[in-house]
Amino acid sequence: MVVEYVSTGISGLDRLLMGGIPRGSVVLLTGGPGTGKTIFGLEFLLRGCESGERGLYVSFEQDRDMMLKQAESLGWDLQKYEMKGLFSTLNFHMPEHHVVDVIKRIEKEIDRFKPDRLVIDSLSVLSLYAEAVAAVELSRMTKAQPQHLPPRLITMGAVMGLLSRLKQKRITTIAIGEVPEGHHGLTRDTYSEFISDGVIELSRDEHGKRLRIVKMRAVRHDEGYHEYEIKNGIRIKITGRRRKR
Ligand SMILES: Nc1ncnc2c1ncn2[C@@H]1O[C@H](COP(=O)(O)OP(=O)(O)OP(=O)(O)O)[C@@H](O)[C@H]1O
Ligand SMILES: [Mg+2]
């Protein structure tokens, strides 16, 4: 099969990826609070819209108006693409549905909107939320149902099922994962980095913000740390000099 590469449109990133992300990959974007994950996700969809690709933003954190405002502050008119039917959002608020129902709604929207690009913001919130709901359900159950799985396993199964169906449908996906400040490791849940086709890490310290491509299946990518700034989007400074941790 010939691999088709999807340009991220993020300044400097396609070069580090030697072209882009293989179409249909699920890429985990991980980073601490305020590192620019949401902006990255919005820009990935915006750049797709600019070349006629449909983008769906699934958010557990911000509603549509908030996202459009964030985009506007960066000089992006996502509303224009929304009106053209190229950009759409799906928001979840209270943890009142079971993870299986949340995932069903996401998949229903995917079947309706048929996105080429998808962002999930964030997988960590989806997982935490799913575990909490599953735990409550479990606590309600009687001893008559010992075959019921622990919440963490229910969550893992549901999330892994979703990711594998996205790959089957060849929807290029940025799944955002949060890392608590001071946490060593790529994700809070510690499994999504293994089931993703790619991992891009955003980090921040007293010297500034840095991006690293941790893995990208089917791509001979750059492995260094690269400084970036948030200025009309994510801008990676390519200097040729790589900073080590
Ligand atoms: N219009 C803008 N111009 C420049 N920088 C901005 C602009 N809007 C936001 N920022 C910067 O981007 C950061 C937030 O980016 P973003 O919301 O994408 O981060 P995040 O990683 O998604 O955060 P969280 O973990 O809270 O979800 C802000 O802390 C601010 O520094
Ligand atoms: Mg965010």
90-116 pLDDT per residue, tens? 998 755 677 888 899 999 999 999 999
Residue 208 Cα to ligand 1 midpoint, Å, equals 14
Q: What is the CA radius of gyration of the chain?
A: 18
Looking at the CA of residue 231, tell me the nearest atom of ligand 1.
Answer: 4
Pairwise CA distance, residues 157 & 162, whole Å? 9
Cis peptide before 122 (omega within 30 of 0): yes
Pairwise CA distance, residues 2 & 4, whole Å? 6
Average pLDDT, the chain: 86
183-192 pLDDT per residue, tens? 777 777 766 7
Residue 121 Cα to ligand 2 midpoint, Å, equals 7
Hey, what CATH topology would domain 5-17+37-204 get?
Answer: Rossmann fold (3.40.50)
Residue 149 Cα to ligand 2 midpoint, Å, equals 31
Pairwise CA distance, residues 102 & 150, whole Å? 18
pLDDT-derived band at 146, boundaries 50, 70, 90 = very low
With 80 as the cut, is the pLDDT of residue 141 above it? no
Question: In this structure, which residue's CA is closest to atom 16 in ligand 1?
Answer: 36
| Range with the poorest average pLDDT among 31-45, 193-207, 210-224, 231-245 | 231-245
pLDDT number for residue 159: 80
Calculate mean pLDDT across residues 214-222. 91
Question: In this structure, which residue's CA is closest to atom 30 in ligand 1?
Answer: 34
DSSP string covering 142-170: -TT-TTPPPHHHHHHHHHHHHHHHHHHTT
Residue 178 Cα to ligand 2 midpoint, Å, equals 9
174 neighbors 119 (Cβ within 8 angstroms): yes
In the three-class reduction of DSSP (H, G, I as helix; E, B as strand; rest coil), residue 54 is classed as: coil
Pairwise CA distance, residues 211 & 13, whole Å? 9
Residue 30 Cα to ligand 2 midpoint, Å, equals 10
Could you tell me which of 66, 55, 131 has the C-alpha nearest to residue 98?
131
User: Helix, strand, coil: what percent of the chain each, to 5?
Assistant: 35, 25, 40
Q: How many residues does the chain have?
A: 245
Cβ of residue 36 lying under 6 Å from some atom of ligand 1 = yes
Cβ of residue 74 lying under 6 Å from some atom of ligand 1 = yes
Question: In this structure, which residue's CA is closest to atom 29 in ligand 1?
Answer: 34
Three-state helix/strand/coil letters over 163-232: HHHHHHCCCEEEEEEECCCCCCCCCCCCCHHHHCCEEEEEEEECCEEEEEEEEECCCCCCCCEEEEEECC
